[in-house]
Amino acid sequence: MTSPDTPSLDEDPAGANTTAALFRLHDFRLYASARFIGTLSMLIMSVAVGWQVYDITESPLALGYVGLAQFLPMTLFTLPAGDIADRIDRRYIVAASGLLETVAAGWLILLTLTHTGNVTWFYAALALFGTARAIMAPASRSFVPLLVSKAQMPRAIAVSSSTFQMAVIIGPAIGGFLYLFGPVIVYATCMALFASVSVAFLAIRTRTKVEPASPGVGPLSRAVAGILYMRRSPIVLGAISLDLFAVLLGGAVALLPIYARDILDVGPAGLGLMRSAPAVGAIVVSLLLVWRPLGRRSGHIMFACVAVFGLATIIFGLSTNFLLTLGALTVMGASDMISVNIRSTLIPLATPQQMLGRVTAVEMLFIGASNELGDFRAGVSAALFGTVPAVLIGGVGTLGVVGIWMWLFPALRKVDRLSDVKPVT
């Protein structure tokens, strides 16, 4: 069931497909605000945790474990969370997850105040945070199609991405600045922001359509249904797996503290700017997409942008100049934003509404978790081969994935207009 101000997914009333019309929707405003706040707090906290753990251990591998601690619970809980998102009001799921994130931030405050030198407890707090993210992600990410019409989808996703990227820009910079006053201030700020996300989602009026339980069909079978549908849809499978391997190989965010301290010597404030640089490129692109959504040759554009991401990663890895590094990171964010916008529009349009939560869970498991696993991969590679070779390996690997996936998934490569994409029957 939807709220009175939400158009049907098949309707396209005159004047509805504009940015102003989207923000006249009460629930979309709340959703975009909560997405901004949740991302802001997550990025603020990640800067503090990364710097604090590296300061305690001075170990690249320890930074890899920061990602692994969040990846493992996402592996365990994301698929069940997708089934739950199709069977329970998604507002309540997100609100409960926000409270778990609040508890995780409070735990980090306690660890800091007790001056523990055992980073294992930091990993435990991050595992709780990863659990909250795993439960929240399918419910939150599958919300936009419930709030807007099909014609509004590309623009709504671009708006949502813009608010997300604004938080990505501001969050690390705020995190780096607040860390100058101590990590307790950082984590206390995050506690307040996480709690406000719960309040915002509870204020959304839209009631999600709940799929009735089928007799004799257990939770595992329902969760696996999302994977089975993905296998039947080459567009969905290709889009999800392309991003998974690109992020797994090309992600170098976990190594930014090493670049900031040991290679570029720019300190916590420089680390915050480096973490924000990809979002600067991303938000410029996302604002352009809000103004002018993509038209034709969407599949080719997505592959091209992933290739640009790989090339920019190589430049970042080789750079010893702070401005060149910021430029490479900005290009990485810009190219990634276009591919993310295409994928985020393709998957809901190519998926039946009654299983969108489960398919979104598969997407989050493959892509969201790959961010943390990619951080772990980067940390291990840096420990084995050195920081710069680890980044170069990832960039070259990303280019290889683009070529292979263009050959494996011709249906994805041939996607023209996004609005023409339909679910597989």
Q: Please answer whether residues 413 and 221 qualify as being in contact, where contact means their C-beta atoms are separated by less than 8 angstroms.
A: no
Q: Which residues of 382-418 are buried (b: 16+ CB within 10 A; e: fewer)?
A: bbeeebbebbbbbbbbbbebbeebbeebeebbebeeb
Q: How many residues does the chain have?
A: 425
Kindly write down the DSSP assignment for every residue of 28-70, as one continuous string.
HHHHHHHHHHHHHHHHHHHHHHHHHHHHHH--HHHHHHHHHHH
Reference 147, options 65, 242, 24, 60; nearest CA is 24
Reference 394, options 281, 299, 314; nearest CA is 314
Q: What is the torsion angle, in degrees rounded to the nearest 10, for the CA atoms of residue 246, residue 249, residue 254 and residue 255?
A: -130
Domains, the chain, ordered by start: 22-210+219-420 (1.20.1250.20)
Q: What is the torsion angle, in degrees rounded to the nearest 10, for the CA atoms of residue 344, residue 350, residue 355 and residue 360?
A: -20
**What average pLDDT does this structure show over 50-63?**
82
pLDDT of 200-237, one tens digit each?
998 888 776 665 555 555 566 766 777 778 777 888 88
pLDDT of 99-146, one tens digit each?
999 999 999 999 988 877 788 899 999 999 989 988 888 888 777 777
- What span, in angstroms and rounded, lies between the C-alpha atoms of 310 and 373? 18
**What average pLDDT does this structure show over 325-336?**
90
pLDDT computed for residue 414 by the predictor:
81
- The first and second tokens of residue 377, run together, are 């991969």
- The first and second tokens of residue 376, run together, are 């772990």
- What span, in angstroms and rounded, lies between the C-alpha atoms of 338 and 299? 11
pLDDT computed for residue 337 by the predictor:
83
Q: Mean of the per-residue pLDDT values for the chain?
A: 81
- What span, in angstroms and rounded, lies between the C-alpha atoms of 245 and 243? 6
Q: Please answer whether residues 41 and 171 qualify as being in contact, where contact means their C-beta atoms are separated by less than 8 angstroms.
A: yes
- The first and second tokens of residue 208, run together, are 């999600």
pLDDT computed for residue 9 by the predictor:
45
pLDDT of 154-186, one tens digit each?
778 778 777 777 787 788 888 888 888 888 999
Mapping DSSP to helix (H, G, I), strand (E, B) and coil, where does residue 130 land?
helix
Q: What is the torsion angle, in degrees rounded to the nearest 10, for the CA atoms of residue 313, residue 317, residue 319 and residue 323?
A: 50
> What is the phi/psi pair of residue 310, to 5°?
-65, -40
- What span, in angstroms and rounded, lies between the C-alpha atoms of 102 and 187? 9
365 has pLDDT over 90:
no
306 has pLDDT over 70:
yes
- What span, in angstroms and rounded, lies between the C-alpha atoms of 336 and 409? 19
- The first and second tokens of residue 176, run together, are 């780096």
Most confident of 33-42, 227-236, 406-415: 33-42
Separation of CA 177 from chain center:
23
Q: Please answer whether residues 187 and 109 qualify as being in contact, where contact means their C-beta atoms are separated by less than 8 angstroms.
A: yes
Kindly write down the DSSP assignment for every residue of 150-209, as one continuous string.
TTTHHHHHHHHHHHHHHHHHHHHHHHHHHHTT-HHHHHHHHHHHHHHHHHHHHT--PPPP
Kindly write down the DSSP assignment for every residue of 304-354, as one continuous string.
HHHHHHHHHHHHHHH--SHHHHHHHHHHHHHHHHHHHHHHHHHHHHTS-GG
- What span, in angstroms and rounded, lies between the C-alpha atoms of 243 and 141? 16
Q: Which residue has the higher pLDDT, 145 or 37?
A: 37
**How many C-beta atoms surround the C-beta of residue 291 within 10 A?**
10
Q: What is the torsion angle, in degrees rounded to the nearest 10, for the CA atoms of residue 251, residue 254, residue 257 and residue 260?
A: 0
